Structure 1
Amino acid sequence: MTETSHEPQTDTGGPKVLLLVDGSSYLYRAFHAMPDLRAVPGDPASPATGAIRGMINMLQKLRRDVRADYVACVFDAPGKTFRDDIYPEYKATRSPMPPDLRTQIDAIHEVVRLLGWKVLNVPGVEADDVIGTLACMATERGIETVISSGDKDLSQLVNEHVTVIDTMNDRKRDVAGVEAEFGVPPRLMVDYQALVGDAVDNVPGVDKVGPKTAVKLLQEYGSLDALIERAAEVKGAVGEHLRRALDWLPRGRELLTIRKDCELADHIPGLPELEDLKVVDGQDTEALKAFYERYGFKGLAKQLEVHDVPPELIEEHRRQKKVGTGDGPGFQDPDLTSRSQVTNLQYDTIFTWAQFDEWLAKIEAAELVALDTETSSLDEMQAEIIGLSFSVQPGVAAYLPLAHSYGDAPDQLPREEALARLKPWLENPDRAKLGQHVKYDRHVFANHGIEVRGYAHDTMLQSYVLEVHKPHGLASLAERHLGRTGIDYEHIAGKGAHQIPFAQVPVDKAAEYSCEDSDQTLDVHLALWPKLQADGKLRFIYDLEMKSSETLYRVERNGVLIDSAMLARQSAELGQRMMQLEREAHDLAGQPFNLGSPKQIGEILFTKLGLPVVKKTASGVPSTDEEVLEKLAEDYPLPAKLLEHRGLSKLKGTYTDKLPQMIHPRTGRVHTHYAQAVAVTGRLSSNDPNLQNIPVKTPEGRRVREAFIAAPGHLIASADYSQIELRIMAHLSEDEALLRAFREGMDVHRATASEVFGVAPDQVTSEQRRYAKVINFGLIYGMSAFGLARNLGIEGAAAKNYIQRYFERYPGVKQYMDETRLSAKSRGYVETVFGRRLYLPEINSPNGPRRGGAERAAINAPMQGTAADLIKLSMVAVQDVLDAQQRRTKMIMQVHDELVFEVPEDEVDWIRAEIPRLMAGVAQLRVPLLAEIGVGANWEKAH
């Protein structure tokens, strides 16, 4: 089928996050920040508790502020480390821990565990090294890392996937932040520290060299190694001091370098997949309450009298309804943020049928009503309505409580009867409605047998179209566009891990919260809608997103059947194969070792077997990441075994083991969630489960698709666009040779090979066609000569020559790329064929690599974005025809450029003919669109 490249996606509509706390840093901060608290207030003889309470406060706030999928609090273990062996004076000048703090350590470890954190203190390994190793593991697995610490030494770990936040000083050390603060990028922080020294740890630097001099030297010479090599050139007193320190500097740098390859498997059983650090549902409330009472924290103990709601579920609710996609790790604490005062608010609570009828008349008469649901669950397929709010004009709203259940809850109208009375209005397509993330609300109403019609607007999607590079949550929108701040969910339901279900929120608080949501949604709409109306292209994209939202709701609702028994067999077979691979790896290594341990892998590959070192980590040890293993696997069998084992482990854990657990008990199907307002290109992301990242290049990955089956009497059909991004490139560049190839129905890779290698099309070899295919797709993604050389396994000069010849044969492509870069630098964004704006904040960055990345994105984004627009146009067009003709065919998945259907056997002939025609006809480009379709008993056989 199609030969397009796919944008990687994650299970949550964005990367998973590992949150690591530098517990040793937190200890001292908590101790010095808090007053002298005692278990018995006022009794100096009772145990000190200030540091304990400070740690609780800091960790609870951090969990509120940072969404995380994995968490750990890392402390220094007592005893020596390898640094003491290298330099006996290491940390020799440090003052001993204050006795009052030392007595609180065990209690702190206990409460941190009770709060749901994995506590790590690894003997012989400093906390910084544990953090560095875990961050490296996370990066290798596509997981973002947030480190919370005030220690500047951890800045050396920062990269595009690792960020350090200092919550006490409200400082964020990302790549730009480190360079702005210290004057050097993170990759040079160790060199900087080696020159300056570390007085706290008693590690000398170069005498008389302070931060400014160190920065100047590194800027001039590029690195510490280059500076050491050219030390004779450095003049004056600085040069003299530098030359005296030459023997010391390598050892100083070794002491200051945070290790990323520590052996942790014995202390964290879930490695290397970080399973042991996963955020878990719930807490041991009774044990936590007993702890609080033991140490005199009566206020905290009282908060535990309410039921426990997992913090990650609340965070997902905030992401969808209040915070949207977000753009950073921090959120405001409602207790520390003063709310803007919006005057003349008229918020009603509906308790009687008379009030109900009065408000029903208001919403039936209103031109547009903002509607918001408050629910029992964050699972959109199971959530039930707790209450509804409506807003008919800014500042005017009402809350209808329907299922609040707590001790002295007021009487409420019966839910099913109230919903039945609302149903005619809800299902009337002529009554315009507005929401924030309405796809979720559609599901909630559907759970009560109501198919809402008439959703005219979604403020989340308005923001997504107008300002894709900014957060789209209601709180962000209200503050950004209205200057209004509001009530955070935590403010009404409790904080940290002890947030109560919405059904237990007091009705008066729930009413204010929900009315404010509807009110602000309407107010935001009135600010954003005129901007969309004023721009015809953006209005087109917004209309497309609204229609796509409704279609995606249908696709999610349909779900897909899974053959659980087949997946169970596959899991067993994968497990057997993994065990076999482990035995084979041990045989090749000549000894047993942990296939998940980077340290042990490194020792086997490079120390014992003497394989060539491809690259090193920041700490100077040979890297064993996936890129290295792939390179070594070209010539050596053991790395190939390791790669295969790693791939099968991920496949088993993510799909064959997990998918059967995700079958909905009521429908018997798996229902993914499509995040619509996440990717800046307009592409959708699938999560819970992620159906877009099933590996299809391996037989095992393709077998997983065999478990996606149809109901009896039905088949699976898969339709996708052929070479869509290359066709879009031909359209955008207007290059005559490319246009001709597609218009004449040629094999575009063969045509490219003919042009680049100067041979007739019928003389092109399979190897030449493969090269041409890599060039075609590589240039779309901004691949350099170096990247092309590595991908094809050829010399850099040859790759450069291929690219040069490509541009000579396709001058329109070169011209388009050059003009697009210039246009992007001027406007700050690029556009798809249909007018979707794709912003590039780094396009004029002084940072070369970041600017280069933005320039590559400027070339690729219009193609990915146009492909995203086309598949959305296709989804909408196909669903419209299915509805109009009352077909029983159901669209059940969207995967990149592919639509998947469950088709009754008597509609197969119709779908074979009509779906490709519909998809090819949604737009007229300078080259014909081509959609292909396959039909089979399961998803794999439909390809």
Structure 2
Amino acid sequence: MEIPPKTRPRLFLIDAYALIYRSYFAFIRRPLMNSRGENTSAPFGFTNFLEQLKTDFDPEYLAVVFDAGDSFREEIFPDYKATREKMPDDLRASIPRVRAIVEGFRDPVIELDGYEADDVIGTLARKADAAGLEAVIVSGDKDFYQLVDDHVHLLNPGRGGPNGVDADWVDLRNADEKFGIPPSQVIDYLALIGDSSDNVPGAPGIGPKTAVKLLQQFGDVESILAAAPELKAKRSRESLTENADSVRMSRELVTIKTDLPVDLDLDRLKVGEPDFAELRDLFLDLEFRRLAEKYTRGALEADAIESAAAREATYRTLTSVEQVAEWVEQARAEGRVAVGVEASLPDPMRGRLIGMALSAADGNAVYLPFDHHATAALELDLGDPTEPVPNLPPLSDPAMAPLRHLLADPEVALVGHDLKTTLLLLKRAGSPLGGGLRDAMVASYVLDPGRRSHDLDALAMEILAHRTTPRDEVVGKGRQRIGFAEVALDAARDHACERVDCAWRLWSRFEPELEEHALLPLFDDLEMPLVPVLARMEERGIRVDTEVLHEMSTKLRGELALIEEEIYKLAGMEFNLNSTPQLREVLFDRLELPVLKKTKTGPSTDASVLEELAADGHEVPRLMLEYRELEKLRNTYVDALPRLVHRTTGRIHTSFNQTVAATGRLSSSDPNLQNIPIRTALGREVRKAFVADQGFQLLGVDYSQIELRVLAHFSGDAPLVEAFRKGIDVHRQTAAVIFDVDIEEVGAAQRAQAKTINFATLYGQGAFSLARQLGISREMAQSFIDQYFERFRGVRAFLDAQVEQAKEKGYVTTLLGRRRYVPELKSRNWNVRQFGERVAQNTPIQGTAADMIKKAMLEVDEGLESGGFGARMLLQVHDELLFEVPVEEMDSVRELVVSRMEGAMALEVPLVAEWGVGDSWYDAKG
């Protein structure tokens, strides 16, 4: 796109709806959605284009022009634009957002009642020319070609996507390339060919080539119509003769007005600074994180909100034990302290404490260096690294006793973000935490588990409108990256203090919100007491027998080699089984299997495709599924777990994540011990490697059918409640209903199908999903679902009521009051709404089960502690707890765990906890 140099100041006139439509349809295959189910494609695309326009062209003047009601054209021709499709509802809903964004950029919106944007733009373009400006019309509308002259240009923004069109600058040099005629003939050209998109009739049968030929021969429409009876071409002669009035009307319809009563107010149109704070708030609400960060920085600079200079003045480094003692004495009077730590490694079980930040007042914080050594590279520009670092004595030193006593004082509330990590690191450094914990990360999760991120940077941006300094700006990137211990002290201080200051201020915001939404009991009585329990579980870890894993690895390699050889034989060639392009070539070119799904790069080879092909009897897809499962097992667990064994403890220390799953469930990572495959014999064998210490055994206790029991409690469905109260196998009962047989006659296969149906209804799956799982027709699957809800009518009523509550209140709740917001129900996208209905239906069930296991963990932990047992809780995996128990304590501990788990909550049906004991996790699962 060649852009000529400016000869005059430029006024950019943006055709708002043209750009809005372009932005919306650029994402039509994968619309952008925020967490409330709002389609944000148009606001996002419009914003990016507006920014790019200002960056690339640096316009002196700019206006965004909107249509304003019906125009005079409807009076001339009532069917004008009658064939246009109605604007999609989700696009219409985003128009106010776009207007707000334009307002935030402080760009004027211009609209004239009763006129289309084209006519307003045409008038302003001509007035700009007369005032000594160049006008640049930003639109892809072909009608604007009629306006191009020496000082009126077009900028076609183009469109993205696989069939995208580049942006294009149009002036007198290239204006005739579009239609093969100069701008002066565009009106006549459009009048002849008509416009199907605007329902402009033109002359039927006169196409672009004929129109150009006629205009080149006769010059204009009136001359063509006058000569029409003498034309040799029969089709043209008859069409022009019979439709002369229609052509004249069409010419009037396509002519852009240039004389409307709209002023060219250059003072108003002058481009200025945007309203950074307004745009920041808008982009936060729309969940455009990158844009929100950008305009937060602008807001800080423009409005001096919490400027860096003001904040630095409140951050101090304490370099002596006397200063620490003095600060502790002042902080104790507040009764609340925020604490944050900086470590040598992210893993608190491996990293060492480098420094600590503390705060006891909004906007004030201190930094305590413990293990800094100043060898940072000068090019990082983080202060003078050659100065000696005045490190404090270790936390365990007697001189640091006042600080240790403060942090362990049960009367002092301890505020922070991710306090579990803080707790682990400080305990290893010799300073256990003892106060009431107030974790801003957990508070954010309790308030809105569906929030996209609960990390400190995201929360500071969203809640405090503050951009924190990224860690990469402190420690550098790539080869220049250094350890935090090497960071110059002033930079370390500012980074650590900023984070603890944000945690303090976040908690100040979250506490009243928790109280307002009646969520403080859930936070205080369940989530926060769980933090130290999880920390102790992580600290203990679990022993792993690496020899078992090495033997499994050898076995897996042998099985993989056999499968690989069989695939090569069936394919008739060798290829890389892990290469998607090569597998695609074998399946769809060489073996000529049917293509079931396509991606941007070709036919899909994902698991769903392979499963469907395997179900149709194709061997290579079946073997590929087996190969992938075994390869994942080998790479993810069998070969990976030995590398994760802690060199000092000889155990694996997973991390339990409290703020990830929107249902309230815990998850684990590094490694993820909740995803160890258990459906295959080989997958289950991985658990043989998890073993007890000498003199101990592993005790596994698992809730039986907990989610179905919770469903029975919530729904009050009489047959379901009765089944659990009488100890009837609920899957056999369902099978008896579905297959119309006596419960005693239910076979194993029927029970297995009924189990699938029970859980399919529990999770809101439809007939299509159930049919695929059971390998039956969709009609039969629907019949099963209908029979299920006919028999268990209370279940249907409960699930429907949850959807209605979510629509009315915006959220559903668990038995303990945990909320999950369901913005998807407001979406205009059917698939998104269906997902929202499933969320509304199963969250109260899954969430209550999650709350129950958490409550059980607290009850069991308290019981083990008060009973003086040597047993240790090691893992929580879904509805199971795993313990390492001294052999002599096993009977007492088993009884305690089972009773505490079964009594964790009072439901309308009994809770049942099943147990197993063994030297390995595999043995304990029976």
TM-score (norm 1): 0.66
How far 1:763 moved relative to its partner? 2.0
CA pair 243-867 structure 1, distance change in 2 beyond 3 A: farther
Q: Which runs of 5+ in 1 are unaligned?
A: 1-27, 33-149, 184-189, 201-206, 209-230, 245-322
CA pair 518-197 structure 1, distance change in 2 beyond 3 A: closer
Distance 2:522 2:25 in 1: 50
> Residues 248-267 of structure 1 correspond to what in structure 2 (within 5 A)?
none
Match in the other structure for 2:881 = 899
Match in the other structure for 2:238 = none
Contact in 2 for aligned 1:598/1:624 (Cα 8 Å): yes
> Residues 502-541 of structure 1 correspond to what in structure 2 (within 5 A)?
502-541=484-523
1:457 aligned to which of 438, 443, 453: 438
How far 1:427 moved relative to its partner? 2.6
1:401 pairs with 2:369: yes
Contact in 1 for aligned 2:544/2:652 (Cα 8 Å): yes
Contact in 1 for aligned 2:540/2:874 (Cα 8 Å): yes
1:414 aligned to which of 378, 393, 409: 393
Q: What SS class does the counterpart of residue 924 from structure 2 fall into?
A: coil
1:385 pairs with 2:350: no
Distance 2:358 2:613 in 1: 62
Match in the other structure for 1:632 = 613
CA pair 729-424 structure 1, distance change in 2 beyond 3 A: same
Contact in 2 for aligned 1:719/1:916 (Cα 8 Å): yes
1:341 aligned to which of 298, 306, 312: 306
1:548 aligned to which of 521, 530, 536: 530
CA pair 792-906 structure 1, distance change in 2 beyond 3 A: same
Q: Which has the larger displacement, 613-622 or 463-472?
A: 613-622
Distance 2:863 2:425 in 1: 26
How far 1:896 moved relative to its partner? 1.1
Distance 2:693 2:595 in 1: 50
1:575 pairs with 2:540: no
Distance 2:713 2:336 in 1: 40
Distance 1:844 1:524 in 2: 29
Give the letter for the 1:630 counterpart.
E
Distance 2:684 2:728 in 1: 29
Q: What SS class does the counterpart of residue 332 from structure 1 fall into?
A: helix
Distance 2:719 2:51 in 1: 53
1:877 pairs with 2:875: no
How far 1:730 moved relative to its partner? 0.9
How far 1:618 moved relative to its partner? 4.1
CA pair 421-530 structure 1, distance change in 2 beyond 3 A: same
1:919 pairs with 2:901: yes
> Residues 210-229 of structure 1 correspond to what in structure 2 (within 5 A)?
none
Distance 1:153 1:719 in 2: 53
Contact in 1 for aligned 2:411/2:436 (Cα 8 Å): no
How far 1:609 moved relative to its partner? 3.2
Q: Percent same amino acid among aligned pairs?
A: 38
Match in the other structure for 1:801 = 783
Give the letter for the 2:359 counterpart.
S
1:760 pairs with 2:722: no
**CA-to-aligned-CA distance 1:243-302 (integer Å, 9 cap, x gap):** 99xxxxxxxxxxxxxxxxxxxxxxxxxxxxxxxxxxxxxxxxxxxxxxxxxxxxxxxxxx
Contact in 2 for aligned 1:829/1:839 (Cα 8 Å): yes
Match in the other structure for 2:755 = 773
Contact in 2 for aligned 1:382/1:447 (Cα 8 Å): no
CA pair 697-486 structure 1, distance change in 2 beyond 3 A: closer
Contact in 1 for aligned 2:293/2:461 (Cα 8 Å): no
1:834 aligned to which of 816, 819, 824: 816
Distance 2:605 2:847 in 1: 35
Distance 1:828 1:157 in 2: 27
Match in the other structure for 2:322 = 354
1:728 aligned to which of 710, 714, 734: 710
Contact in 1 for aligned 2:24/2:91 (Cα 8 Å): no
Give the letter for the 1:338 counterpart.
L
The structure having more radius of gyration, on CA atoms, is: 2
Match in the other structure for 1:264 = none
> Residues 181-330 of structure 1 correspond to what in structure 2 (within 5 A)?
none
Contact in 2 for aligned 1:383/1:447 (Cα 8 Å): no
Give the letter for the 2:300 counterpart.
S
How far 1:419 moved relative to its partner? 4.2
Distance 1:581 1:242 in 2: 62
Q: What SS class does the counterpart of residue 340 from structure 2 fall into?
A: strand
Q: Which runs of 5+ in 2 are unaligned?
A: 5-21, 35-39, 53-89, 99-138, 141-157, 169-177, 180-196, 211-283, 375-385
Contact in 2 for aligned 1:538/1:836 (Cα 8 Å): no
How far 1:559 moved relative to its partner? 0.2
How far 1:570 moved relative to its partner? 0.9
Distance 1:191 1:767 in 2: 54
Contact in 2 for aligned 1:541/1:836 (Cα 8 Å): no
Match in the other structure for 2:76 = none
Distance 2:482 2:387 in 1: 16
1:933 aligned to which of 900, 915, 919: 915
How far 1:735 moved relative to its partner? 0.9
Give the letter for the 2:388 counterpart.
A
Contact in 2 for aligned 1:541/1:834 (Cα 8 Å): no
Contact in 1 for aligned 2:297/2:467 (Cα 8 Å): no
How far 1:903 moved relative to its partner? 1.2
Contact in 1 for aligned 2:550/2:639 (Cα 8 Å): yes
1:857 pairs with 2:825: no
Match in the other structure for 2:426 = 445
Match in the other structure for 1:256 = none
CA pair 497-849 structure 1, distance change in 2 beyond 3 A: farther
How far 1:177 moved relative to its partner? 10
**CA-to-aligned-CA distance 1:373-399 (integer Å, 9 cap, x gap):** 122221111222222222122233322
1:702 aligned to which of 650, 662, 684: 684
Contact in 2 for aligned 1:465/1:542 (Cα 8 Å): no
CA pair 811-234 structure 1, distance change in 2 beyond 3 A: farther
Match in the other structure for 1:691 = 673
Give the letter for the 1:739 counterpart.
V
Contact in 2 for aligned 1:465/1:538 (Cα 8 Å): no
**CA-to-aligned-CA distance 1:705-763 (integer Å, 9 cap, x gap):** 11011111111111111111111111111111111111111100111122233322112
TM-score (norm 2): 0.67
Q: What SS class does the counterpart of residue 681 from structure 1 fall into?
A: coil
Contact in 2 for aligned 1:409/1:506 (Cα 8 Å): no
How far 1:442 moved relative to its partner? 0.7
Give the letter for the 1:390 counterpart.
L
How far 1:369 moved relative to its partner? 1.0
Distance 2:625 2:859 in 1: 42
**CA-to-aligned-CA distance 1:327-374 (integer Å, 9 cap, x gap):** 967883697673632769643321223312211212333311111112
**CA-to-aligned-CA distance 1:451-477 (integer Å, 9 cap, x gap):** 221143111111111122223233443
Give the letter for the 2:390 counterpart.
D
**CA-to-aligned-CA distance 1:173-220 (integer Å, 9 cap, x gap):** xxx99998999xxxxxx99979887799xxxxxx99xxxxxxxxxxxx
Contact in 1 for aligned 2:159/2:166 (Cα 8 Å): no
> Which one has more relative contact order, counting CA pairs under 8 Å at least 6 apart?
1
Distance 1:821 1:520 in 2: 37
Match in the other structure for 2:410 = 429
Count of matched residue pairs: 680
Give the letter for the 1:439 counterpart.
K
Q: What SS class does the counterpart of residue 826 from structure 2 fall into?
A: coil
Match in the other structure for 1:276 = none
How far 1:595 moved relative to its partner? 1.6
Contact in 1 for aligned 2:692/2:698 (Cα 8 Å): yes
Give the letter for the 1:457 counterpart.
R
CA pair 567-547 structure 1, distance change in 2 beyond 3 A: same
